[in-house]
A and B are shown apart, each in its own frame.
Chain A
């Protein structure tokens, strides 16, 4: 039962354009969402997060949008850079569960020149 889904396994974007990565979840108990970036054979690196009480959080080139009614969140990267090429995971957490994260399946972003 995949409670956090990233339906696009891959995405290719031209340098300088906007990258939009999507994530859907099924469990309405999730109240905190995070995005991680991962390179092969390395651990994930935290990018940005958002609490369910907000609908937008911005940090530099990264913005996360949350639509609770649709159980959908998205990560916008603008402008995209070649160094952004990696696999991006969204993750979700429920209250009172020792902060366990449930990860999505990941989207591989390729930023081309």
Chain B
């Protein structure tokens, strides 16, 4: 089946530094990748939608300059948390639609970011 590989699974960084999270579609081409974050005991909140070769579309309230999304190829999308602060600590998950016209979404395994 379609697999999205997400790395790293867990990262601890110091305040002020930047962290890059990668999501790769292993056996299919992901023209669209969705990035979510989840706070403890809360829902998955969509942060942004990235489309290959174009700028990402951010949800209301999500800082574009803080959460940089790059979708340079059909198999790779990255989320960079810039100048991270403790309040950015969260669980970040990517998701891709397996093929156009279907609702077959597949999710990465998530990244637990802790900013100290």
Q: Which residues of A are interface residues toward B (Cβ below 8 A)?
A: 2, 4, 9, 32, 34, 36, 41-46, 49, 89, 93, 98-106
Contact = CB atoms under 8 A, between A and B. Distances in A.
A43 B33 CA distance: 14
Contacts of A4: 43
Contacts of A100: 34, 46, 49
Contacts of B44: 44, 89, 101, 103
Contacts of B49: 98, 100
Interface stretch (B65-73, B79-87, B108-116): B108-116
Contact of A34 (B6, B32, B36, B103): B103
A49 B103 CA distance: 9
Contacts of A105: 42-43
Contact of B110 (A42, A89, A93): A42
15 contacts: A9-B41, A34-B103, A34-B105, A41-B109, A42-B110, A43-B6, A43-B93, A44-B93, A46-B104, A99-B32, A99-B97, A99-B105, A101-B44, A101-B46, A103-B36
Q: How large is the interface on B (under 10, 10 to 19, 20 to 34, 35 or more residues)?
A: 20 to 34
Classify the secondary structure of B's interface with A.
strand
**Residue among A49, A89, A93, A99 with max Cβ neighbours from chain B (10 Å):** A99
B28 interface: no
B95 to A, nearest CB: 8
B77 to A, nearest CB: 14
A9 B93 CA distance: 21
Given A43-B109, A98-B49, 17 more contacts: A34-B103, A42-B110, A43-B6, A43-B93, A43-B108, A43-B110, A44-B93, A46-B106, A89-B44, A99-B103, A100-B46, A101-B95, A101-B105, A102-B46, A103-B43, A105-B43, A106-B41
A46 B107 CA distance: 9
Contacts of B108: 43
A104 B93 CA distance: 16
Contacts of A102: 46
Interface string B40-67: 0111111001000000010000000000
